[in-house]
Amino acid sequence: GENVEQHPSTLSVQEGDSAVIKCTYSDSASNYFPWYKQELGKGPQLIIDIRSNVGEKKDQRIAVTLNKTAKHFSLHITETQPEDSAVYFCAASWAGNMLTFGGGTRLMVKP
């Protein structure tokens, strides 16, 4: 089955700096890669996703890149703000099936 590795497990940045979280996946059949933000006591919130026919996608301060050959994808957050502090999860799936999640990254943005 699919296996998703996520790094780093914790990330501390200064407000205004950029943050990058990286994930690798094992199953070359995976074609959908979402990113979720989870705040304390809440369910995961979908923030951006990318499909395997696209190499990069951007939404305001958030961007995701995908390298299918190397089987890795990354989340980039620019101009970080304190409200970006949360746990971020990457995931992979094939054709709308179940998501396989990475282990999560705790992002702390220091004001």
Partner 1 sequence: GAGVSQSPSNKVTEKGKDVELRCDPISGHTALYWYRQSLGQGLEFLIYFQGNSAPDKSGLPSDRFSAERTGGSVSTLTIQRTQQEDSAVYLCASSRGQNEQYFGPGTRLTVT
46 binds partner 1 (CB under 8 A): yes
Residue 84 dihedral angles phi and psi, to the nearest 5°: -80, -15
Which range in 22-30, 33-41, 57-65, 66-74 contacts partner 1 by CB under 8 A? 33-41
SS (H, E, C) 6-21: EECCEEEEECCCCEEE
Binder of partner 1 out of 40, 43, 53, 111 (CB under 8 A): 43
Which range in 12-20, 56-64, 68-76, 92-100 contacts partner 1 by CB under 8 A? 92-100
10 binds partner 1 (CB under 8 A): no
CA atoms within 13 A on the CB side of 87: 14
Binder of partner 1 out of 16, 67, 97, 110 (CB under 8 A): 97
| Rounded (5°) CA angle 19-21-24 | 165
